[in-house]
Amino acid sequence: MKKVLLTGAAGGIGTEFFKCASGRYEIRCFDKVTVPGAGDMVTADLADLPALVKAAKGCEAMVHLGGRSTDGDFVRELLPANVVGTYNAFEAARQAGVRRFVFASTVQAEGYPEDAMVTPDMAVRPWNMYATTKVFGESLGRTYARRFGLSVIVLRLGRVAVPREEEALRKVDRGELRWVLTVRDCCEMLVHAVEADTGEFAVVHALSRNGAAIRDLELTRKVLGYFPEDDAMELFGVHGR
């Protein structure tokens, strides 16, 4: 069974991925707080590079979900979590000989007009400082792929419909649901990113089928071998707005 290091394992997405994939992989969880049911757990901060290196030893892949997931003060919150922490994750993967690195980025890196069809090769236009740190992580991934041969897949995630988000999603305008990624599609994309037979570096969109009108999901299918199965407009668009 393949061993995978999961950072941010106690977060909303990390919790769902751990439940989904723990029967498929030998998952080693990494977070500042413990994950219920995790038999292999490293409790540490992303600022602790030695702890990350030790955790990555023996792992074939790293799924990096750790860090701050919303905008905030750059120096106090984003810099340590999303810049230093992301660098440490890549460096730990390099030092430990990890083969595949899956990096959770965001569609907020693409500040194009609302109805524009965007492909991953278009210039980034980050909405905020949070998205800017994710763009840094993407660039760092390209550097580690080119310089050190690390195989890196970047997923530009939409708004993931983790359980705590479901009530709010039932109240939003249908147009906003185009940006949603269901838990099932998210977990499948992460699994396929771990397994994908691809080259050194790739960036793909991670939205459910509802995003097909505004983001290139055919490249997602080509790189990951997976096309999203869910439509958030059908699941959450109860008011038909």
| pLDDT classification of 238: cutoffs 50, 70, 90 | low
Is 25 in the active site? no
Tokens (6 digits) for 79: 């810099």
Q: Which residues contact 217 (CB under 8 A, 6 or more apart)?
A: 205, 207, 209, 211, 227, 228
Q: Give the C-alpha separation, 120 to 61, whole Å.
A: 23
- Mean pLDDT score, 175-189: 93
The 10s digit of each residue's pLDDT in 67-83 is 988 888 899 899 999 99
What span, in angstroms and rounded, lies between the C-alpha atoms of 117 and 125?
A: 14
Could you tell me which of 102, 104, 105 has the C-alpha nearest to residue 192? 102
Sequential DSSP letters for the chain: --EEEEETTTSHHHHHHHHHHTTTSEEEEEESS--TT-SSEEE--TT-HHHHHHHHTT-SEEEE--S--S---IIIIIIIIIIIHHHHHHHHHHHHT-SEEEEEEEGGGB---TT--B-TTSPPB-SSHHHHHHHHHHHHHHHHHHHH--EEEEEEE-EE--GGGHHHHTTS-GGGGGGEE-HHHHHHHHHHHHH----SEEEEEE--GGGTTTB--HHHHHHHS------HHHHH-TT--
Query: Which pLDDT tens digit goes with each residue over 222-231?
Result: 999 999 999 9
Among 59, 19, 14, which Cα is nearest to 32's? Answer: 14
Instruction: Please pick, among 25, 87, 112, 130, the residue that the annotation labels catalytic.
Output: 130
pLDDT tens, position by position, 196-236: 988 889 999 999 999 998 999 999 999 999 999 999 888 88
Percent of the chain residues topping a pLDDT of 90: 77
CA distance 101 to 201: 10
Q: How confident is the model at residue 99 (pLDDT cuts 50, 70, 90)?
A: very high
Q: Which domains does the chain have, with CATH numbers?
A: 3-236 (3.40.50.720)
| pTM (global) more than 0.85 | yes
